[in-house]
Structure 1
Amino acid sequence: MRIADAEASEHGEEQLQLQENGRYEYELDTPGLSLLPETGIGAVKPSINPKRTHCGIIEPGLNTGRLGLIVRNGDGTIVGRAAVEVRSLKVDYRDHYRRMMEEITERCVSLLMELRSPSALRFSPDPGKSAKTIHQRFAFLRSLLDSRHFRDALHRIATHPHRRWEPEETVCDIRRGFRPDARSQRQLAKGARRVPLPAGHPLVATVSSLPERITVYKNVQTDDTPENRFVKFALQTFAGFLNKMSSSWKKSATVRTNV
């Protein structure tokens, strides 16, 4: 069933709601696309017909909560995301089931945050408390990196990095125009490798010669700022942590497969 957007927002649920142990057929509008669970395996079963990969069955089983879904095209690129709510069948989902989950959460968070499960529960981090388990730390980081605010922040950093003006030293040919200052005037008077002025030049009576080149300073924009270096360090730390976790996860999955 589908509930109103206002009702879904009020209860923190998805609009499209399924029931546990149900069996639901789906069909995507565009052939060539495929539907997969965002995490875990088994909840979505595409058609075995290679010409109908955009069709299949959703079977959540006993998994309840938010079931995240992704849509991929033929080369594996993610082109869309969606989610459905899987409601409990035996107990009232909002009053009894979710209250039970909140009580269990207080005592054994890791049991409710099984990484291989296709469905997920919603948690609100408390900035005043530190994470007690690895699951909590991972879930907090994943929620941060998957959030729209983080993606918007990355877009902002990429398109509008912090910049500042810094003086840059440049050797300039005396025949080219430049903005004079006290430093350049001293170079005009005392600079080496001088060339004589033409006899008809209006300044020949005052200055008989000028240096071939002088050093001038001009302000240029630079992205190499402490603010950008800090952002780079933070993103590299995130990337290193995620790569290490991905490597550990693949090794763990290989061990389970061999067993």
Structure 2
Amino acid sequence: MTDNTTTRVALVTGGSGGIGRAVVERLVADGFAVGVHYAGNKERAEAVVSDATARGGQAIAVGGDVADEHDMSAAFDAVEGAFGGVDVVVNTAGIMVLAPIAELDLADLDRVHRTNVRGTFVVAQQAARRIRPGGAIVNFSTSVTRTQLPGYGAYVASKAAVESITLILARELRGKDITVNAIAPGPTATPLFLQDKDDAAVANFAKATPLERLAQPEDIAEAVSFLAGPARWVNGQVLFANGGLA
């Protein structure tokens, strides 16, 4: 149990890999106690927790399906039980299936929307009910809502919904002293992004930004740290963390 009068507490969905892991590491470095959420890989989440505690931080692993309200209620309960409350919720959990709209299997469409839309909604609903004053909700969109690349139809549709949920919830929480924002990363060197892309495709994505490189997960975690901590006057916004991608 931590001293909840001095330590801020975060729950990071999808915290066991990719951007989520970098977010956990950054928030632990910022002094947060962190609930590291995982959907199926408990061992990987526990490795993230072990690394955090080895660095002197506080963390626990919590499992569950983000789209299941009972699982997420239990995850919030576990974090509150361990650390005394929740101040920040970061929704990094998501899946991506790429195919032209004319060819996409509708079962994949349902799967993407269940995790990315319903999952974000369920977690945001719990967060809106539980986060302490002075807290923050950080959802995840994508810069492809603006670049509109072919093949991303199902994924972008789900992330456009996330942006709408974010902007409306920010206004619904009037008077609660809770900010709600979304981060829209550009191409980021994570397994989710790199899957099924050859070296030439990755190189083209890297050259698309004026900085001429892919983002690293730590670049995105820095933006999360900003929104979770000092950015109290940034609210109801979508922050494009994409290195200047047009």
Instruction: Report the TM-score range of the alignment, normalised by the length of the smaller protein.
Output: under 0.3
- Tell me the TM-score normalized by structure 1: 0.23
Structure number with larger C-alpha Rg: 1
- Highest RCO, 1 vs 2 (Cα 8 Å, sep ≥ 6): 2
User: Which structure features the higher share of helix residues?
Assistant: 2
- Tell me the TM-score normalized by structure 2: 0.24
